[in-house]
Structure 1
Amino acid sequence: MHRLEYFPVTFFAVVMGLMGLALALNAAAPFSPWTEILSQGVFWSALGIFAVIAALYGSKLAAHFAAVKAEWQHPVKLAFFPTFSISLLLTATALLELAPAVAQGLWLVGVVGQGVLTIAVVSGWISHRSFEVGHLTPAWFIPAVGNVIVPVAGVRMGYLETSWLFFSGGMMFWGVLLTMVMNRLVFHDPIPARLFPTMVILIAPPSVAFVSYVGLVGHVDGFARVLISLAYIFAALVLAQVPRLVRLPFALSWWALSFPLAALAIASFLFARLEGTTFHLAAGFFVLLLLVVVVIGLGLRTILGLIRGEILQPD
């Protein structure tokens, strides 16, 4: 492929967004059955795109190992490596009802990959390398988000203790990183324009944590309500940043908008289904509609960027 050396690991965020959309559409099915048909179409499209991106990045790993190593050593891109294992976990979750055996195999690979990558990324953060405050963005939440995704399918497969293990680790890292990120946002220079869309990732950890926690305990309790409420609070904070977001030039980091919206929609539909609340149902459909518009827009803009040669460029 032309300029394969510059094919970034951040492309796996595209898979996360598309798989998230498929799962969000499926979560809406109890209230609107036609979304299940759309969910299947989006899923198979996402699976095909996942295969292409994985093949291209695998080719880059084989042909341009130095470029992959440079990404691993990059203070921002380092956090995006777990998007691969997260994509596997999301794929397994989407396949759970269609092909349980395949889903379990993918989930196990994803869990091992997520565990290894989390330890490796955190070890990279606390290694001898010198990180600056400006390197810290909400993208650093990605490894934590991956850990709290594990129980979504893991509990249904019977891996209860493994699910609790990853959930606990993810919640711990989320709490630590949230403190660091808020300190960076309040007391230091603004996040650069190219990375500013990662602000939307603030919505993802509490949204995914709500879905996983409800799966682990089997019902909505006070802590579950805290988690989904936090998701809405962060969504409101992100909404206040929209005027700045719409003025920014396109970059692959814009795909950071997609998965957090999907997670919030899924959490809203789950709460509405279990508690029968009209507000959460309306919020779920509103966020789902916004997610569809965002994914279509991002998809078209990504294709245009590839045609124009704007994306596969050295940093």
Structure 2
Amino acid sequence: MNSVEAHPAGARLAHFPVTFFAVGMGMLGLTIAVHAAEAAYGRGSEASTALLGLSFGVIALVAFFYTLKLLLHPGAVSAEWHHPVRIAFFPAISISLLLASIALLGRWPEVAHGVWIGGTTLQGVLALSVISAWIGHRPFQPGQLTPAWFIPAVGNVIVPIAGVPLGHVEIAWLFFSGGLLFWIVLLTLVMNRLMFHDPLPGKMVPTLMILIAPPAVSYVAWLRLAGEGGAFGHVLLSVAYVFAAIVVTQGGRFLRMPFAMSWWALSFPLAALAIASFAHAAAAGSEAHRWIGTGLLGLLVLVVLALVLRTALGIWRNEICIAE
């Protein structure tokens, strides 16, 4: 019996998944969405500030345990990197930093600048590494392709949201262009997989929600880059709403699925759509989009609360961080 098998805590640490970083993405997405609502209704930022502190605590905890895993069980981290689905979640680490820079921008811009530089650098390294692994010698089967593969592209289009106000316009255009290109390529592949191959396995069904994230985030990034939505911005936002409607049609499948960490994929895309709605409300003076953003934010709060409670219950029951 090896040391991991002999110590249950060590075994759980070895199986601590990189998908836990999606929790940080969801919490920071909620924080930014609440701040957008505060701005839309002319309220103070007390609620979003409290959520920001809570989000940082969650991210620090996840980063601590995953660093321990890297130090004590590097083989387990390597196995995740070579996993056809989990490899796409590694950029969730850099995305968390980029989202943190957005949340910090209006409060502590100098701190936000440093965090953005670190997040952008890591995003570039991870995105290139993941894409390199995809086009390397390892064969991938259609069944291994899921909407989670959008995550690296989403990270790229997040870069301009804080990058443009911080003065890094050229870098913002570079990342936005690359992210948009790979989103379109991956969208074709993912839709082919969803329509013409076996249905997604149970734990991967919630990743359908990630279909919403690229166009929603791209719209907010486009507002930063272009200064206005314009026709292209309207297309991006409308596509995000279309994908949201498609996901709603699959709601029955969601309700039949057992809980897994992949359920956190519901949180950030919903936050991104709420933020995009508030952004369009401000840019176009649309009262309707402000109400849409408000409704989406209310739903997001309920979803995050449910996910937090279900995750805590899963940890208590030892249903998480186990071998699959």
TM interval, short-chain normalised: over 0.9
The residue aligned with 1:152 is 161
- Any residues of structure 2 matched to 1:157-236 within 5 Å, and which? 157-236=166-245
In the other structure, the counterpart of 1:75 is: 84
1:36 to 45, 68, 93: 45
User: 110-119 or 276-285, which moves further after superposition?
Assistant: 276-285
Residue 265 (structure 1) aligns with: 274
- Structure 2 equivalent of residue 278 of structure 1: 287
Structure 1 residue 34 displacement after superposition = 4.5
Aligned-partner residue type, residue 255 of structure 1: W
Q: Which residue of 1 aligns with 2:129?
A: 120
CA distance in 2, matches of 1:91, 1:230: 26
Letter of the structure 2 residue corresponding to residue 155 of structure 1: V
Q: Which amino acid aligns with 2:127?
A: T
Q: Which runs of 5+ in 2 are unaligned?
A: 1-8
Task: Give the C-alpha shift of residue 79 in structure 1.
Answer: 0.2
User: Partner of 2:68 in structure 1?
Assistant: 59
TM-score (norm 2): 0.96
Report the number of matched residues. Answer: 315
Letter in 1 for 2:298: L
The Cα shift of 1:30 comes to: 2.4
Identity %: 55
- Looking at structure 2, the residues matched to 146 and 31 of structure 1 have their Cα atoms a distance apart, in angstroms, of 25
- Structure 1 stretch displaced more, 204-213 or 241-250: 241-250
**Deviation (angstroms), 1:29:** 1.3
Instruction: Quote the Cα distance in structure 2 between the aligned partners of 1:35 and 1:134.
Output: 47
- Aligned residue identity for 2:105: L
Matched residue type, 2:219: F
The change in CA–CA distance for 1:128 and 1:20 in structure 2 (over 3 A counts) is same
- Distance in 2, Cα, partners of 1:21 & 1:91: 12
Residue matched to 2:3: none
Match of 2:297 in 1: 288
Quickly say closer, same or farther: Cα 1:189–1:50, change in 2 above 3 A: same
Structure 1: which amino acid aligns with 2:19? T
Match of 1:300 among 309, 315, 322: 309
Using the TM superposition, give the Cα deviation of residue 18 of structure 1 relative to its aligned residue in structure 2, in angstroms: 0.2
C-alpha displacement of 1:151: 0.2
Deviates more, 1:24-33 or 1:170-179: 24-33
Are 1:25 and 1:38, in contact at CA under 8 Å, matched by a contact in 2?
yes
The one-character-per-residue Cα deviations of 1:273-305 (angstroms, maximum 9, x if unpaired) are 111112211110111000000000000000000
Given that 1:201 and 1:260 are in contact with CA atoms closer than 8 Å, whether structure 2 keeps it comes out as yes
What amino acid is the match of 1:140? W
Cα deviation digits, residues 236-289 of structure 1 (max 9, x gap): 000111111011110000000000000000000010111111221111011100
Distance 1:210 1:230, change over 3 A: same
Post-superposition Cα deviations, 1:111-132, rounded to whole Å, max 9, x if no partner, equal 0100000010001101111110
- State the 1:35 CA deviation: 7.0
Counterpart of 2:6 in structure 1 is none
In structure 2, give the amino acid aligned to 1:154.
G
With over 3 angstroms needed to count, the CA separation of the structure-2 counterparts of 1:304 and 1:35, relative to structure 1, is farther
Quote the Cα distance in structure 1 between the aligned partners of 2:44 and 2:287.
19
Q: Are the equivalent residues in 2 in contact too, given 1:28–1:35 (CA < 8 A)?
A: no
Task: Output the CA distance in 2 between the equivalents of 1:44 and 1:33.
Answer: 22
Correspondent of 1:105 among 104, 114, 127: 114
Equivalent residue letter for 1:196 = V
User: CA–CA distance in 1 between the matches of 2:232 and 2:302?
Assistant: 32
Runs (4+) of structure 1 exceeding 6 A deviation are none
Asked whether 1:250 is paired with 2:230, we answer no
Cα shift readout 1:171-213 (whole Å, capped 9, x = no counterpart): 0000000000000011000000111000000000000000000
TM-score by length of 1: 0.98
- Alignment check: 8 A CA contact 1:24 1:288 kept: yes
Q: Find the counterpart in structure 1 of residue 5 from structure 2.
A: none
